[in-house]
A and B are shown apart, each in its own frame.
Chain A
C-alpha cells in the first residue's frame, strides 16, 4: 500500500488519532490500514452511531471517519449529537451514498467533509489535511508517496 508523508498534530507532534465508525468490520479495517499509511493512530472503532457517541466521549479523537448507513443510529444523526456535545469535533463522513441531499444534510448537522466510497487513499489524505488545517503538520518523509 502506498505510503504518505506522516500527518502529525501541530501542538505536540504526536500522530493524529482517529475514531472509525462503520457497521462493516471489513470497511473499518480498510480505513484503519489507510490512515496508518498517513502516520495516524486508531483511537477507537464503532459499528453504529450510538456506540460512536460513547466512543467519542471515551477517546476524544482528532478526527472521526463516519459511515452513514448503519443500524441503530445512522451516521448523520450521530455526527449531529457528537457536535452538539463537542463543537470542535472534526467529523468526516465516509459513505457510498454521496448524493447531494446527504452531503448537505451532513454538513448542516456538523460534519466537516464528505468522502465517497470506495475510498481513494490520496483523496482521504487531502481531506484529512484540509479538515485539520493549522492543527496538523505534514512531516517530511524521504520517499513518501504523496
Chain B
C-alpha cells in the first residue's frame, strides 16, 4: 500500500480529532497487519469503491468516543452505548470524507459508502494486495485505531496499461 494513499487519512484524522477533542493528540505506532483484524473497542467500517477500493475501520474505546462526541456537541454528553456507536460512525464518516477531498484533488475518484458498525470480533485476513496498515492515535482519553486496507482499482490499472500499450 502506497503512502500517498495513507497520508490524507492521517491528516484528516489529525484535523477532525483535534477539533473534536480540543486537546493534543499524537500518532503512536504504525504497523502492518498480516493476521485477521481483531476489534479492540467500538468499530465502524467504511467501504470505498472507484479508482481506489478497499475498506477502513475506525476503532475507539468507549471513553474516547464519548469525549469526541462531547467535543462535537460542544457540551458534555453522558456515555451510552448508542452515543458511542453513533459517534464512532460519524467520526469515521468525517475523517474519510475529509481524506477523500484531498485524494480527489490528486485526481482519484471514488464513492464512499455509509459507515456501518463492525460487530465481529475478528475480520477477514488481509491479502498481499490489500494488506492492512494500522495507525494508532494517542489521545488524552485513550487510543483510536485506524485500520486501512486500500488498493488501486486493478481493472482500471489494466485498462490504463492496455491504453498505454495501444497508444505505443
Inter-chain CA distance A96–B20, complex, in Å, is: 14
B98→A25 contact, CB < 8 A: no
Most chain A CB inside 10 Å of its own CB: which residue of B19, B69, B95, B98: B98
Residue of A nearest to B96 (CB): A96
A96→B94 contact, CB < 8 A: yes
Inter-chain CA distance A55–B100, complex, in Å, is: 30
- Chain A contacts for B72, CB-based, 8 A: 26, 30, 118
A69→B73 contact, CB < 8 A: no
Within the complex, the shortest CB–CB distance from A64 to chain B, in Å, comes to 19
- Chain A contacts for B109, CB-based, 8 A: 101
Inter-chain CA distance A23–B96, complex, in Å, is: 16
What is B's interface to A at a CB cutoff of 8 Å? 16, 19-20, 69, 72-75, 82-83, 86-87, 89-90, 93-98, 100-101, 104-105, 109, 112-114
Inter-chain CA distance A116–B83, complex, in Å, is: 22
Determine which of A33, A99, A101 lies in contact with B73 in the assembled complex, contact meaning CB atoms within 8 Å.
A33
> If the complex has contacts A26-B89, A29-B73, A98-B101, are A70 and B114 also in contact, measured as CB distance less than 8 A?
yes
Residue of B nearest to A22 (CB): B90
What is A's interface to B at a CB cutoff of 8 Å? 1-2, 23-27, 29-30, 33-34, 69-71, 95-101, 116-118, 121
Within the complex, the shortest CB–CB distance from A63 to chain B, in Å, comes to 20
Determine which of A2, A24, A27, A118 lies in contact with B20 in the assembled complex, contact meaning CB atoms within 8 Å.
A118
Most chain B CB inside 10 Å of its own CB: which residue of A24, A95, A96: A96
A26→B90 contact, CB < 8 A: yes
Query: What are 6 inter-chain pairs, A to B, with CB distance below 8 A?
Result: A25-B82, A27-B93, A69-B97, A96-B98, A99-B100, A118-B72
B89→A24 contact, CB < 8 A: yes
B90→A27 contact, CB < 8 A: yes
Inter-chain CA distance A100–B109, complex, in Å, is: 11
Determine which of A26, A34, A95, A117 lies in contact with B83 in the assembled complex, contact meaning CB atoms within 8 Å.
A26
B97→A117 contact, CB < 8 A: yes
Most chain B CB inside 10 Å of its own CB: which residue of A26, A34, A95: A26
- Chain B contacts for A101, CB-based, 8 A: 104, 109
Inter-chain CA distance A26–B69, complex, in Å, is: 8
Inter-chain CA distance A121–B74, complex, in Å, is: 10
- Chain A contacts for B98, CB-based, 8 A: 96, 98, 116-117
- Chain A contacts for B93, CB-based, 8 A: 24, 27, 69, 96, 117
B74→A1 contact, CB < 8 A: yes
- Chain B contacts for A24, CB-based, 8 A: 86, 89-90, 93
A25→B86 contact, CB < 8 A: yes
- Chain B contacts for A100, CB-based, 8 A: 104-105
- Chain A contacts for B75, CB-based, 8 A: 1, 33
A69→B112 contact, CB < 8 A: yes
A26→B94 contact, CB < 8 A: no
